[in-house]
Amino acid sequence: MTALRWLLLLCLAAPGVSAAPVEPPPRPNVVIFLADDSGWGDYSLNGNTNLRTPNIDSIGRGGAVLDRFYVCPVCAPTRAEFLTGRYHPRGGVRGVSTGLERLNADEKTIADAFKAAGYATGAFGKWHNGSQWPYHPNARGFDEYHGFTSGHWGEYFDPPLEHNGQPVRGKGFIADDLTSRALDFIERNKARPLFCYVPYNTPHSPWAVPQEDWNRFKDSPVGMRAKAGDPEDLDHTRCALAMVENLDRNVGRVLKRLDELKLADNTIVIYFSDNGPNSWRWNGGMKGRKGSTDEGGVRSTCFIRFPARIQPGTKVHEIAGAIDLLPTITALAGIPRAGDKPLDGMNLANLLLGARRRAWPDRTIFSHQNGNVSARSQQYRLSNSGELFDMAADPGQTTNIAAAKPEVAARFAAAVADWRRDVLGPTTAPAPNAKGKTKGGGLPPDDRPHPVGAGGATFPITPLPARDGLAHGGIRRSAGAPNCSYFVNWKSADDKITWDVEVATAGNYEVAILHTAADAGAIVELSHNRSKLTGKVPAVWNPPLYTNQDTIARPPGESQMKEFRPLNLGTIQLERGRGVLTLRALEIPGASVMDVRQVTLTLTK
């Protein structure tokens, strides 16, 4: 308690003395940085001498380090757990693409809570929990959104993005642009409490970084390497670390501005990542990487700074996870959470503030990916295949002790079985592989349609990217990964592209197709139930693939991008209800119809 407050209390206690009520301290601002595909080992504070991350490290040094912090093996599930404080399958998030990444509309988010408390709320970056309303960030508590809603993006320089649903063009490198937009938001809202979420999309591939960052790494030795036997690609390592140093510079831009605006002391700043590293590189000797439910796939850096309340140098040794951030941040801010669904996460405020810890439970945190489940307590991890590891004595998971500690293994196996029933619900039975180890146990198919017009006049735009559609006949995707792909090889009248949709608002919709066309003159038809619209590909638009986007070659499963332009097809009248939106060709005078990246439907009345 400050000396001033002591003086005021003494005055109030003195007979015959009165004083004006003491105003409560202003509500804290919140700034959250989320890295994409950055491993625990990608930071100098965690011991990596291959790079320097002084600004990110300063968050941990100036506040708290959560020593054992767990996220999901892949991107969208972690985002859902952060947003809701609940395990991701509870909210319908079961994958990273083709609609599996969507967070159910009945889930309330951390942004809903802060918006209801009067905060300005903004998100700037990779959303990855749904593209159409009511999955869009503007429907999930964020007043302002700038970024992309897909799980992967193919253009990192001057990228096509959106601002509150409207297409815009980013300036320069994507992480730099997202940071600039976040800084604008902070500047505009400096006089009121603000909640600023910056989910970066780096160091996720494609392997692209500004030249000034690459120059520091391209010819440099990599002293700290992946574990023996892990197939490390040193150029991938160099590029990933260059991207992390770029993130560090951008985080530094925000921290500096908070200082300049005199907001830093009363701002909660959090930095974490969404999964393990996206390539084999140094990660503290842990087993696994992105996609794995082992320690290296799910342990993340998490630094929390709040100068007004958290002491510098605080270290939280108790296990924690992304599910804990919502209850913790709302508690630190002194606001209620939104919604009444039970949380899986715990409020870590007492641990962060140095309160007594004697009642802290020895909890278990579960990690899930495509039916694979592992369980982590303070001391042990049970792997998806039933192996038990003492993580205190064996953090690299080298020795299975299930036979030596059968009662512990049995207790964990029972906990996993209970968690599967409670959280996953009906699944296909996990099956043993050729080595007798259990793998998988899949979730049932996702039957949710893609909503059209669900935002009404408030949010009239519905994007239907190729990611969410299906190709029929000879049409195929531009690459194996659906995210940021487009449809190619459309040559026959038997070919078609479909989207499973449900029209929420009947009315007239303007139709625009993001396309390229090597030939002109094709007549195409868009239909949904009884509604049809025909139009013509009026001209050739056949730009080359970009050659200026990659620092090193992108993975073969990711699409090479090019400049798509909107083809305004006309207006279609749609009735309410579910149906298949179908795009087909009626006439093909040339060799092909067009390549299609997205169909956009805009409600006009």
First to last CA, the chain: 58
State the number of CA atoms in the 13 A half-sphere of 403 facing the CB. Answer: 2
Task: Enter the DSSP assignment of 102.
Answer: P
**Helix extents (H) in 430-482:** none
Closest alpha carbon to 79 in 116, 120, 125:
125
Closest alpha carbon to 561 in 179, 201, 152:
152
Integer Cα distance of 192 and 180 in angstroms: 19
Angle at 274 between CA 269 and CA 278, to 5 degrees: 130
Is residue 11 annotated as part of the catalytic site, yes or no?
no
In contact, 300 and 68? CB cutoff 8 Å:
no
Q: Which residue has the tokens 């992105």?
A: 290
Identified catalytic residue from 72, 75, 196, 484 = 75
Beta bridge partners of 471: 497
Tokens of 402: 């299930």
Closest alpha carbon to 522 in 535, 511, 532, 533:
535
- 3-class secondary structure per residue, 211-230: HHHHHCCCCCCCCCCCCCCC
Give the DSSP H/E element, type plus range, for residue 605. Answer: none
Integer Cα distance of 177 and 251 in angstroms: 12
Phi, psi of 257 (to 5 degrees): -70, -35
Cα 292 → chain centroid? 17
- Angle of helix 174-188 relative to helix 234-260, nearest 10 degrees, comes to 20
In contact, 81 and 322? CB cutoff 8 Å:
yes
Is residue 75 annotated as part of the catalytic site, yes or no?
yes
Integer Cα distance of 38 and 202 in angstroms: 8
In contact, 508 and 605? CB cutoff 8 Å:
yes
Residue type, 328: T
In contact, 519 and 589? CB cutoff 8 Å:
yes
Task: Enter the DSSP assignment of 290.
Answer: T
- 3-class secondary structure per residue, 239-279: HHHHHHHHHHHHHHHHHHHHHHCCCHHHEEEEEEECCCCCC
In contact, 493 and 588? CB cutoff 8 Å:
yes
Identified catalytic residue from 88, 128, 152, 528 = 128
Please state, as a whole number, how many other Cβ atoms lie within 10 Å of the Cβ of residue 3. 7
Please state, as a whole number, how many other Cβ atoms lie within 10 Å of the Cβ of residue 444. 11
Catalytic residues, by residue number, are 75, 128
